[in-house]
Amino acid sequence: MFSSVPAEADRQQQQLRGMLHRLGATPRTPVTMVSGGADGPRSLGETASVDPSIGPTHHVLDCFHLSMPIQHVAQAAKGWPDAALVDREEAAGLADSIEHIRWRLWHGQAQRALDLIGDTLVILDAAAETAIAARRRLGGSRASRGLETYVSGQSGLIIDYATAR
């Protein structure tokens, strides 16, 4: 395991190489980088590998960073239950969709999760009868779009976490 902070960016490559060397990594040792998906750690893993010419470093999106945008959508949905019956029903439907999205991502089904996020956005965008409900749906829609953007951008790093665990 290796961790660093931006203030040490100029030394990160040497630190990671040193750590790999101390652990006995050879030019044939596979390296897996688990990160939040930012370009910095990805490129750091490529350049700090003992011998990057052997093959690419395997990158994995860590589950914590994946779960945060899902949690934002869940929090947006929690703001709905004090509204009218139709809003409570929509909020329950959104909560159910969120759990299905979470399950699909946990099992490495990024495209199926993106499909469900898209379906959820269609429902959120279509349902805006009152000003209060519209504001609440807008929060859910923003959070869902953020989730969609994040999952879409990181889909190549999403693994089957259930199997990996």
User: Within 13 Å of residue 19, how many CA atoms lie on the same side as its CB?
Assistant: 14
Within 13 Å and on the Cβ side, how many CA atoms surround 46? 6
Torsion angle of the four alpha carbons 68, 70, 76, 81, in this order, in degrees rounded to the nearest 10: -130
Q: How does pLDDT run along the chain (165 residues), one tens digit per residue?
A: 556 666 666 677 777 778 878 888 777 777 788 888 777 766 776 666 655 555 567 788 888 888 888 888 887 777 665 556 656 677 777 788 889 999 999 999 999 999 998 988 887 766 555 444 555 555 667 778 888 888 998 898 899 999 988
- Is the pTM higher than 0.85? The answer reads no
Q: Rounded to whole angstroms, how far apart are CA atoms 157 and 59?
A: 6
> Within 13 A of 156's CA, how many CA atoms are on the CB side?
6
* Residue 42: closest CA among 27, 61, 29: 61
